[in-house]
Structure 1
């Protein structure tokens, strides 16, 4: 302690380094309690400080508080050496004796002989006289201000009476407003009752219509049956009439035949009489001649009779045919006549029903018009009431604004001197910065010693990039009023809370120059309050606090970060108004806002996180959540916004600051972070490109690297999941084009060159994608290929996937660290059976047991998803989830004899098997000849099986390991290689395909 409290002689005898060491030990107290403006005149007289130094210490804009000014003053004096330290201690004797005592341990004594070498006595006297004059001037000014305040206090008391009357009118208006709210509520409930009654009537009317419809349907069915009976009766009548006519025709033909037989008999008798007569020779000649003529004429008549008979037969046939046709025509006529009558009656019934439906429709239209008229009338009344509410609210806010201006007038005169100590020795109440509770104790002393103008400057700077702690700043006063009245209608609240809300938001929207819009304090009048307003706390900015009030904390000084707000505005060329940063890991944040733009007018600021964008236009329409989208997706999406849009945003300054800090510290370049499996081999041709192989796992950290359409990725260590070498890779659309080109090149090769040996490096992995379940990575953006017209038909996540190809160059994956031994699956299955017999002899491997299940047990297990593989369905033998899990619990690798299509069923139960692929060619198939013969399989059969199962490997949703064909020579060496591969795979992370979000 002797060193820390030396005498004055010892101080002058100390060297420069020890003297400044003593000063530095008390630097904390010095910078907190010393006022530099009081020390600089003495230091100038002591010639350790010139005028430029004094100006820089007292008036430099980079020093915003006393602590910084005193610290800079000490640094300047330190450059002056020992003389600067001694002069500073001498100045403390006059202006800060307690600090001088703290440093030296002595009471200050003013001895002109002890510092006459540094300053002349006349100059010292002049300095002291100047200091006294300045103090006297300050005292006179303080007295003048006190008198002015007293006069102004009398004026305020006179105005209090006027404000009391205004307050009474305000309360009357509020009572009227509440009454109107109650009337609106009752009318609204009456409207609801009327709606319920109308609904009941409509339900009853609908049920009556249904009953009527059923009756009409029954009547129609009975009418159809009646029509069918009538038609059948007419058909029977027509058949009987036809039979009667045919009977009459038969009787007529029989009578005609009897008449013809009588005529023939008469002719025969005449012939006999003629033969019995005798004639002379001349008569005989004449008779013979007549006979010959008669014979000739008879022959002619016979011929004519034959021809007539033929004609008669033909006519009879035609007559019969015509009769048949006539009967058919008559039958059809009767049938058509019956159908006509039937259809005529049906049309009459339908017309009657149409008439009834038209009447019912007219009644429904009239009822609808009546209901619409009632509704429009109620809406008109509601609008008029709402308009009155708006007008009254506007009047209330105007009156409160006048009240606040009146109360703010005396305080504004004393605002410029708020940082100086008052005459009662207490520090004035000032606005404190919103800091974390854990930082409150560490930095409270700095805030308490800062001057008020400096605090106001810092507060105004912070205000430009922030939101109101309770809600975003409204775009206009009408919007604020509408929001308040809607809250009143939806959830009536107490008078005090509604007034507090109006006070706070009105001060924000009225455009007054206040120092902070967050209003984290309430000012409660503890003196003579306004009548009837004792229960209503009045909200003021801290700079407008009345002297008779007490400042209390209304709520913790923290912004509400979880509140999501939807802003609708004209977003023409939205990315020209704002710039964004972030990604799928951190979210999308607004980084910069163009001054004077629509986004700036909507109070969008840096640190605002965009949660959702809703855009609707003639060309494109979408509504997308941006919380998990990549930066590339978000930029491509917001580029398409060119018109009226809705943005859902929230303030997330903590996440934004952390992201900006990480970018500035080069920890990362964006907010993207996801893992992919590469399905093709790519050579890094250009500088900075990453060379990758098929099935490599990459960690993508930036989807818009350096503003280009490429991704920045790191190769992942499969054992530790750490990022290793890094570089750029093509984005999704570019990689898809490379994959298509690579496949085309492979197909153009000859069959000989296309045959790949087992040890050849795999170039591609063919993975197709269902467009209805598009992968999120497919939304890579390429501005040259964009077709906005296709946005509306695309899947929700793949906004700009223009390509019709379903080939997937990158597959989204997620890591999983296995804890228990993983099951093992060999490909092909035939070789797997051989290896299972070998490995099951070891203690760490065991074949999966097969369970026998009845039909009922099988159905129950299948519904729960416990059935993994059906070994022999006809014998009810199955491999279940419980069997595999039991072996894993014993820390044993389960050897599975299942097909590759069962892997997805295992993944659904969170069991991820090790897939070991053993390439089988014609050469090494001979090495397994004896083992294959024991299984009853030939070399040709196993080669065909290998082709089918290797094709299924492309569809497996995870990585697999392959054994080199030349690393084994027989079954034993193959078993050793497989065991080593299984041990190695157990150490790795499992990379599972991630389902699209």
Structure 2
């Protein structure tokens, strides 16, 4: 029974596995097998013929038994699985030890399996040959036994020596491991030293530049000093000449010098006269007096020259003092520049703190806006509850009226001829401005006059708490953000509560407009798109473009330039649409389904309206729509003007009602620059959804072989679903809790919306810093991370063993395990970002949303692996304790999870690499390419 199970296990193995087992023991087979003992059985099993046996046993090129056995194995390998099984059966008969070594099974012979191989006539001959061969083998085995015993004794003698060598080698191995760790640590220290040397070289370069600037400045200062010296020399020369001039002929002593010259001439004349005659004493006294006066004037001139010299010395001292002050001022200026640089650094740090404060302020504003939005939603819910209260009040009034009518019929009496009802004073009654049940459009009619006990409530739509209620006797139809427009009812003659009254138009006053404020208008919106036409989109807003004259919308003072903010039905309060950010297609669908009493919230925005009309007239745009989507299916674009789209393409939609039809105008987006490239027409959401369902049906009908043959083709479908299954999930502005699919129009089958999403909304992110890297499958990512860490630009993001709480700002847990203490923290990622390297993450795909929520957008790379590629990673997988089957299973499992990842990912095809080094090179190129791309993240609709 055991033999049958062993044979069954061997026969269940495929050809490759059998020959892989034989090839792994080829050396033992060729050393211990005699070919002439196996060929008869193999010939009887019909895996070798007579020519093959002759070639194996007597071929001249085979000089020994090992070569013959090797050639025999090569011949049997060409016979496939039968050759391997027949060879194992022959080993079971003639060489059971080798059979046990190869298969790990004990050889047991079932004679029933061999009875049909040898004919009865040849059985005696075969037995005789077998006996002879056995005797020869016995003799040979005796000789081999003696030699083996001798060899065994030699080996036993060598065992102590080998143990000593083994012990020595273990010590060498331990030393080698220690040195390897030291080399690794020294390698990291060398990298750090390289970084420090690079920083020092940068500082040295900056210092050289500053030195060059200082030398240039010094040369400029020397030139200025030389010019100053020239000016000083020139000033000294001028001073010298002025001094000489002042000594020779001062300008202010010129009249005295003339007088002195005249006196000298007179003196000469007098001397000449003295020689001729003797002067009188009187004349001599006069001349002496004049001479004394001239000497006194000369002394004054000398004193003035001396004072000028003293002033020149004082000026020279002042010049020296000013020069010293200039040098001191230059030194102070240099100190001020240094202080200025320090203040600049302080200011830059302060600006960084101010920027952080601004971010915190913006976050606070966002939180405030969210709170305000929640408050406004609560108010709208209160409004709907108030409307229900008003409707219930009307029902109560109707019931009271019916009860009073019945009482009146029971207690009525027949009036005598000429008898009249007693007269009472006319009173003012309050009624609905527009009756919801009235089908007339545009006229305020009295459909019913109520008894005073009924007390109907006016229709009020408050915008904020604290607004004034309607005044007694009035009914409001228009209410704005800062004021209320009232419609007053005129006094009517007193009547009893009658079933009906002919419609009586009542003149009303037009609503008071308040610019830049939201105004809510309640009116009959039956066939609303026949009363108004709209333009715009999600980027510009929805504007009223034309109003039909004489319509209800015209009477309610709606006109071009009004931006529609909110639309909801009074009779169906569960349906509400905020059209401020709605697309044109969404707005048309919302306004088309209005059929009855409705409310529109509008505000004046003439600037935006005029800008949009100008752009439309100049053909800058075709609508006010602009948003980005990710295609989840492939579109061939067979029709004229259609844009061919591949799955996972990013499209920029610029018009949702292109040329007035249910189709979108879109452009393919450049993945590196966000620029629009090829433009064309794509199906709208519902048409694309039908195509997606058709593609899925076609793929379901394909056979397995057809799918295998098309494995190299691009991806056709990406299955994405959403919880919003009752309406287009891209129309996030519609709040529709109760939905009737039978009310949908034919163009947009909103009621037939499935959970499958052909398009998903995406938003771009431009990142300047290096992004982290995450590999799929994660098992291969561990191998690639170890390889990439040895190259420049990549480092592992280490997991911290700590409690993942808000204090240490952890991001994700390892493999998504809630009880795990290993976390990826912001501090670890920030440290790697500061080093300007790609951080290698060892986390699962379930952590992607947590990373995106923290503002971290890693590069996601899928490495496609075939069975051929998996064999080339066998050694690397063995180091991790994994097998090839586990790697392929991990690829299949995680590749299916990629469908739910809210971002694009790169793919490395299996035919682009042949070994682990080539794969590392391909990964580096793919990471560099993905770093250049724009990051597109899907908006979460769940």
Q: TM-score range by the shorter chain?
A: 0.3 to 0.5
- Which structure carries more relative contact order (alpha carbon 8 Å, separation 6+)? 1
- TM-score where L is the length of structure 2: 0.45
- TM-score where L is the length of structure 1: 0.42
